[in-house]
Amino acid sequence: MILAGQTATALQNARLLDDLRAMQDDLHRLGTELAETNRQLKRLDQTKADFVAIASHELRTPLAQIYGYSDVLSSMTDGKEIEAQEIHTFIDGITRGAMRLKRVVDAMVDVSLIETGGLLLHTACIPVTVVVHGAIEVVQPAANQRKMNLMVRDLSSLPDVEADVNRLEQVFVGILTNAIKYSPDGSEIIVSGRLDSSAEGAWVEILVADSGIGVDPDQQTVIFEKFYRSESVLFHSTDEVRFKGAGPGLGLAIAKGIVAAHHGRIWVESSGRDEERCPGSTFCVRLPATGPSRDAHHA
Ligand code: ADP
C-alpha cells in the first residue's frame, strides 16, 4: 500500500511537472507573440509617421516648383518684352511640376484602391511580349538618358496570360524604372521569361535582372510595403531617373497589389546591397498561364 501511495504521488508529481512545462511553453509562446505584435504596432506607427513626412514632402516639392516658375513668369511679364524661348522654359518647368504632382496623387489613389479592394481589372487573353514591349517603350528614354542597355530575350513562345494590359504594363514600367534608378550609368538590364509547369498548373514568369546596388536579404519582403524606401525621406530627386533617386516608396506596393489581383506573385532575388560592387537584383513576376505554350500551339 505504501508503494502504491508513493507511485500515485510520483505520478501526480510527474503530471504536475508536465502541466507546468506546458504552461511554461504557453507563456513563452505568448511572450513571442506579444513581442511580434509590438513590433508590428511600432512599424504601423512608423508607417503613419512616414506617410505624413513623405506625402507632404512629395506633394510640396512639385508644388513649390510650380509656384516658383509661375511667380518668375508673372514678374517677367510685368510690362517687359520676353522672348518666346524664355516663356517656354518656364512653362516647361510648370508642366514638369504638375506631371510629378499627378504621378504622386495617382500612386496614392492606386494604393487606396488596392487596399479597399476597389481595383477594377479589364482583362483579356494577351501575350506577355505585348506588355513587356509596351513598358520598354515607356522607359526607353530614361534608359537612354542614363546610357543603359535594355535587352529583351525572346518571349514569343510563352503562353498568353489573362491580364489587364494597362495595369500589367504599369507593373513592368515600375520595375524597369527602379532597375534604371538603382543601377549605375551604362549598365545593362535584361528582361527574360520562362514557363513553369507543374501538377498544380502552368505559370509564366517574367524576370527583370539589373546590375544595380542590390537588395539586402532582410529587406526583400519589406520593399513591397507601402512607403518603404531605403533612403532618407529627404533624399529625393528632382530627376525621376537619377541614380538612387528615391520616390514616394509606393511603386512596388502598387506592383504587388496589381500582380496579386491577377492571382500572381512578385518577389526579388539578390545576394545583398552593395553600392560599390553592384551585385544586381532580379525582380520576378509570376502569373497563371491561360493558354498552351505558343510553340505547342504552332506544332
Ligand atoms: P521608390 O519610389 O522609393 O522607388 P518603390 O516602391 O518603387 O519606391 O521601391 C521601394 C524601395 O525598394 C526603393 O526605395 C529601393 O530601396 C528598393 N528597390 C526597388 N527596386 C530596386 C532595384 N532594382 N535595386 C535595388 N533596390 C531597389
The pLDDT tens digits along the chain (299 residues) read 888 888 888 888 889 989 999 999 999 999 999 999 998 888 778 777 777 777 788 888 899 999 999 888 888 777 677 788 888 888 999 999 999 999 988 998 998 899 888 999 999 999 999 999 999 999 999 999 999 999 999 999 999 999 999 999 999 999 999 999 999 999 999 999 999 988 788 999 999 999 999 999 999 999 998 877 666 555 544 456 677 666 778 899 999 999 999 999 999 999 999 999 999 999 999 999 987 766 644 43
151 and 274 inside one domain: yes
What CA–CA distance (Å, rounded) separates 255 from 135? 13
CATH classification at residue 219: 3.30.565.10
Please name the residue whose Cα sits nearest to atom 25 of ligand 1: 214
Domain boundary among 61, 87, 118: 118
Please name the residue whose Cα sits nearest to atom 19 of ligand 1: 178
95 and 129 inside one domain: no
Find the domain containing 288 and state its range.
124-298
Q: Which three cell numbers stand for residue 183?
A: 543601377
Structural contact between residues 156 and 127, judged by C-beta atoms closer than 8 angstroms? yes
What CA–CA distance (Å, rounded) separates 87 from 73? 7
Please name the residue whose Cα sits nearest to atom 8 of ligand 1: 249
223 CA to middle of ligand 1, Å? 7
129 and 262 inside one domain: yes
* Domain count along the chain: 2
Regarding the beta carbon of 230 and ligand 1, being less than 6 Å apart is answered: yes
113 and 4 inside one domain: yes
What CA–CA distance (Å, rounded) separates 7 from 32? 37
Q: Which three cell numbers stand for residue 162?
A: 489573362
DSSP labels, 110-146: HHHHHHTT------EEE-HHHHHHHHHHHHHHHHHHT
Regarding the beta carbon of 281 and ligand 1, being less than 6 Å apart is answered: yes
224 CA to middle of ligand 1, Å? 9
Regarding the beta carbon of 208 and ligand 1, being less than 6 Å apart is answered: no
